[in-house]
């Protein structure tokens, strides 16, 4: 009788987890946000096809799918076992549980890669510099997207890394250990330069309200979250879509104009 009750309890718990994952990661808002970022990444014209990729903070695998369409060999990872299990079942690929906040050195056990893809994770870490330092040792290129703090919004509570923020660990899209960070754009750029000889910003931003074109306070404070994309490399990248500085203003991207105008679902073909 007890065994049957435990089985029923575990099944109910797994069902609740699945519902939470579906509500969180498959909402219209979340999917449009992902599409804006991935269409923008493709528009940069970076050499992605056929590369060996390590993905950090893969979630349910939307970005994993992008690289699979590019013919890449990809190893997605996430700190939450339930998300790794969901991703494996959804896409039929190998994935690993990896906590890069408390064990960033564990990255080295996975081997070396052409690209490390880290979109939407850095700001969920309490020790972002430790992660970036270890990431630089396992990849040729780092594709990084993160939430940021505008200098006028900077928090007073800090570590040696960046401003700290409390997050809800019960939310599968938030910090695993309840503490995240909101670094400034300057901090991310300068820290990347410590570990990569070449650091770039795209000339454009994803077409989404959380990615402002102007970095003036009046524009950055319009939304609760402010984001930007960074590209770091151990070799120079010849690409007219990248600049080796922090832009005061980004160009308008023409590649994502339809993302927020779509009335139906989001198709993989749009990526």
Nearest to 182 by CA among 147, 151, 156: 147
- For residue 222, what pLDDT is reported? 74
Strand ranges for the chain from DSSP E: 52-56, 73-78, 96-97, 113-119, 139-148, 164-166, 179-181, 198-202, 226-233, 242-243
CB 118 within 8 A of CB 144: yes
Q: Quick one: pLDDT at residue 269?
A: 34
179 forms bridges with which residues in the sheet? 166
- pLDDT confidence of residue 256: 44
- Rounded Cα–Cα distance for residues 225 and 207 (Å): 14
**Residue 15 pLDDT:** 42
Using DSSP bridges, classify how beta strands 139-148 and 113-119 pair: parallel, antiparallel or unpaired: parallel
Q: Residue 17 has what pLDDT?
A: 64
Count Cβ atoms within 10 A of the Cβ of residue 224 and give its class: 0-12 exposed, 13-18 middle, 19 or more buried: exposed
- pTM of the predicted protein model: 0.87
Per-residue model confidence (pLDDT) at position 150: 82
- Mean pLDDT by runs of 10 across the 271 residues of the chain is 44 57 88 95 97 97 97 98 96 97 96 98 96 98 95 57 87 94 95 98 96 84 88 98 96 60 35 38
Q: Which two tokens stand for residue 192?
A: 């990347």
């Amino acid at each position: 009788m007890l065994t049957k009750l435990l089985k029923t309890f575990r099944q109910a718990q797994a069902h609740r987890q699945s519902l939470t994952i579906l509500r969180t990661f498959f909402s219209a808002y979340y999917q449009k946000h992902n599409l804006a970022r991935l269409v923008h990444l493709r528009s940069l014209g970076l050499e992605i096809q056929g590369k060996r990729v390590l993905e950090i903070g893969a979630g349910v695998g939307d970005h994993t799918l992008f690289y699979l369409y590019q013919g890449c060999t990809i190893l997605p990872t996430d700190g939450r076992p339930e998300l790794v299990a969901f991703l494996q079942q959804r896409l039929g690929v190998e994935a690993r549980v990896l906590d890069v906040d408390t064990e960033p050195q564990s990255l080295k056990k996975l081997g070396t890669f052409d690209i490390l893809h880290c979109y939407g994770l850095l700001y969920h870490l309490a020790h972002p510099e430790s992660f970036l330092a270890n990431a630089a040792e396992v990849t040729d290129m780092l594709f990084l997207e993160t939430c940021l703090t505008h200098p006028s919004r900077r928090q007073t509570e800090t570590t040696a890394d960046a401003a700290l923020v409390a997050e809800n660990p019960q939310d599968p899209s938030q910090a695993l250990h309840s503490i995240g960070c909101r670094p400034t754009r300057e901090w991310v750029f300068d820290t990347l330069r410590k570990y990569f000889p070449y650091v770039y910003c795209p000339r454009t931003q994803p077409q989404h309200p959380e990615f402002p074109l102007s970095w003036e306070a009046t524009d950055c404070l319009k939304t609760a979250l402010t984001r930007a994309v960074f590209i770091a490399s151990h070799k120079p990248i010849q690409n007219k879509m990248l600049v080796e500085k922090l832009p005061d203003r980004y160009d308008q991207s023409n590649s994502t104009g339809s993302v927020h105008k779509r009335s139906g679902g989001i198709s993989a073909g749009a990526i």
